Amino acid sequence: MSTLNSGLHADVLIIGFGKGGKTVAAEMGRLGRTVVLVEQSDRMYGGTCPNVGCVPTKALVHHSGKRRAGDSPQEWYERAVGSVQALTALFRGGNYDALNDADTVTVVTGRAAFVDPHTVAVGTGQDRLTVTAETILINTGSEPIIPDIPGLRASKRVVTSADLIQTTELPERLAILGGGYLGIEFASIYSRFGSRVTVLESAPDILARLDGDVAAVAEGILVGEGIKIVTGVNVAEVRDGESATTLVYEKDGRRQTVEADAVLAAAGRVPAIRDLGLEAAGVRTTIRGAIEVDEHLRTSRPHIFAIGDVNGGPQFTYVSLDDSRIVMDQLVGEGRRSTADRMAIPSTLFMTPPLATVGLTERQAREAGRQVKIAGKLVADIVAMPRAYVVEETRGMMKFVIEAETDEILGAALLSVDAQELINTVALAMRHGMKAAELRDAVYTHPSSTEAFNEVLGTIVR
């Protein structure tokens, strides 16, 4: 860090080292523009995904699935965490070197706050550095929500997902507050490592955004692995004891308790805008606390863009990457690309097997007045999917929602081995207007998971 009153000027200033920001930094640097990228922590070079998000959690999914019945849960988990930490350190160093070694890109470590619309201050006191730029990108991501439950925030055993994956001690009993994608993914991971997992969800059902038949199959898999799922609860209090934490909750008018060695707050994430000084820059925010942007990701100050989770869009690394394409098109392209161009964006919940979705559910399609036909089948009943038997994973189901008159694919839910890859094929087909019959009659390699489409899409019923 530089000394008091020192300053830098750049063509582009990027606050946050996430996927979108680092992509723009690299591209603009290659074009010869001067770029300053500010990251508040040297543990977060590369952003959430390679450090505390996608990469370490999916690596833990892999390691948890390799544990054999006779392996010590604690020893296996400790080795797995060590291996994952080595991987994230490798990625972190690679991300830093790739940018900082570029002639026109400077990486500054410290917390940035706006001083005026074109200037930020990084750090305080003698370490204060000012950076001015013609164009600014805010790429600060999101942060976990800790619910306002009496005793929760003060508990010494409450953890966020980032905290949990970095501890080398496997909790014997893990309580998870929240039955959404994050909560269910961690429930699956830690149950397979050997923790006794309890999920507490306030809604009547987990995975409420899914159709009931898909959610029921997913829940059956989770319960079959020993995960206790309690829905329709109100957590009233969290009390730390000497050796455990007690969670007091109400269900059906009765008070009940569960004890845990760790409590994971999995109630979602909010845009990370605290202490950014957005008021000094004249940047407006939404009622939900995200930075307000237009379809080109410009904020209320046209020279300032917001990309990634901080702008309130879907919280996916690949959406942040697409944000970077929109911004680059504004800065050096034709300025035509926008968020309105996006369609059929898939997502995956990495339970085991993974659950991947794209487009509309059956419920959403019918509520919108669409006349639909459904193609669906349990994986165990799909004869044309020998890969499921080869890898000994026949749990799950596949479901397609199709426009009855046009044969247009409106959406799909794939709960199966390789679903995280299969869903990309379905999404690509949807983007290019392929009919369900075309996907059904395509030629796929054998034995593969994709060839299941031949059979499942042949079961269409009205």
Residues belonging to the active site: 446
Q: How far apart are CA 258 and CA 241, in angstroms?
A: 12
435 neighbors 443 (Cβ within 8 angstroms): no
Q: In the chain, count H helices and then E strands.
A: 14, 22
CB under 8 Å to 442, separation ≥6 — which residues?
Answer: 453, 454
Confirm whether residue 45 is marked as ligand binding.
no
How far from 162 is each of 53, 94, 424, 432, CA to CA, in Å? 7, 20, 27, 37
Confirm whether residue 77 is marked as ligand binding.
no
Give the distance between the most distant pair of CA atoms in the chain.
71
Confirm whether residue 322 is marked as ligand binding.
no
Confirm whether residue 359 is marked as ligand binding.
no
Confirm whether residue 201 is marked as ligand binding.
yes
Q: Cβ atoms within 10 A of the Cβ of 226, count?
A: 12
Confirm whether residue 334 is marked as ligand binding.
no
Q: How far apart are CA 102 and CA 26, in angstroms?
A: 8
Confirm whether residue 292 is marked as ligand binding.
no
Confirm whether residue 268 is marked as ligand binding.
yes
Confirm whether residue 142 is marked as ligand binding.
yes
* Helix orientation angle between 181-193 and 212-224, rounded to the nearest 10 degrees: 20
Q: 380 is written with which tokens?
A: 């165990």
Confirm whether residue 441 is marked as ligand binding.
no
H helix intervals, 248-316: 278-281
Q: 245 is written with which tokens?
A: 């934490």
Confirm whether residue 181 is marked as ligand binding.
yes
Confirm whether residue 212 is marked as ligand binding.
no
Q: How far apart are CA 78 and CA 86, in angstroms?
A: 12
Numbered residues of the known binding site: 58, 140-142, 178-185, 201, 268, 309
Numbered residues of the known binding site for NAD(+): 178-185, 201, 268
Numbered residues of the known binding site for FAD: 58, 140-142, 309
